[in-house]
Structure formats: structure tokens, C-alpha cells
Amino acid sequence: MEAGDSVLSLNLTMSKFYPSLTPMKRNEAALLREHGINPSAQRVAVAQHVLHTGEHPSADEVWKRVRERFPQISRATVYNTLNLFVDKGLLRRFVLVEGRVVFDPRVENHHHFLDEESGMLHDLPWDALEVSGVTQLKGFDVREFQVVLRGKKA
């Protein structure tokens, strides 16, 4: 296999992975192990609630959902697990507005639209918008960027 082939196959794997985030069941324990995470029952429960959602839940929202099946799970455990998932590249942490941190299972680049009436955050494909000049900003070394549009859904 040539060096270029492995890059291509990686891209194909990622694009296959993406649609599976929605309704298809994956083996969360295996997924956690692949990312170097020891899959305890509580971590698997958190993964089931956060890695397959099309939403952008806050830590408290995840905690509330996981508690329905694991009534004894603590808030701290859920917070720590979410942060671990972020560190391992399974989730992105995203400060939506001041004081509201949400978690995003789509780790590839995309933009967001915040519906100010419902508070819902919608994903927008990366190529739906064109942003220019990011790399030419003087004095700033940009690591990543994304656009948050605000308004109401028509």
C-alpha cells in the first residue's frame, strides 16, 4: 500500500463513521477501548446518551438522561466522563453562550445555527459557508474556528 492510500482509506472510514452517529447502534465499549478509555458500565451509559445524539446536550442534560437508567450515577462522574471523552477526541466541548457549555458528538469541522426562539443548536455543513482571511490574521495563530449564526428557523 502506498502512503497516499492510507490517507484515502482514513478519509473513507471517517465519512462512513459520520452517518452512523445518528440512529445506528454501535458497540460503545469497543469504541471507548479504541480511544484508550476503560469502558466501565457508567462510561458506556454516558457514551450511549451522548455519542449518538444529533443534539448538543449540556452536561446536566446528559446527567439527567443517564440517571434514568443509572439512578446512582453522580453529577461529577458524568462531568468527568464527558471531559475524558473530549480529551480522547470523541466529543467536542463548545461554549455556546456565556455559561452554557454543550457537547458535540460531531468532531469534524462544521458550523452552527442557534435558533434563538427554541435554544436549539443546528449543525451546518462546513462547506455551507465560506470564511476567508482566517490564516492571514496578523498576530493570531488560529488553531480552529467555526461560525455560529443566530436567528430563527424559517
- The residues binding Zn ion (CB under 5 A) are 104, 106, 123
Provide the pairing of β-strand 121-125 with 110-115. antiparallel
The candidate with the shortest Cα–Cα distance to 92, out of 79, 105, 81, is 105
Q: Using CA atoms in the order 125, 21, 92, 40, what is the torsion angle rounded to 10 degrees?
A: 180
Residue 4 or 125: the one with the smaller Cβ distance to Zn ion is 125
Q: Within 10 Å of residue 21's Cβ, how many Cβ atoms?
A: 15
Helix axes 41-50, 59-69, angle to 10 degrees: 120
Shortest distance, CB of residue 89 to Zn ion, whole angstroms?
15
Q: Residues with Cβ < 8 Å from 79, sequence gap 6 or more?
A: 59, 63
Cβ proximity to Zn ion: between 52 and 106 the closer is: 106
Question: Which CB, 28 or 104, lies closer to Zn ion?
Answer: 104
> Can you tell me which residue has the cell 452512523?
20
- Closest separation between CB of residue 122 and Zn ion, Å? 8
Query: Smallest gap, in angstroms, from Cβ of residue 112 to Zn ion?
Result: 6
Phi-psi category of residue 6: left, alpha or beta, with phi > 0 → left and psi -120 to 50 → alpha = alpha
Provide, rounded to whole angstroms, the least separation between the CB of residue 2 and Zn ion.
34
Please identify, using beta-carbon distances, which residue of 44 and 124 lies nearer to Zn ion. 124
Least CB distance to Zn ion at residue 133 (A): 23
> Between residues 56 and 77, which has the closer beta carbon with respect to Zn ion?
56
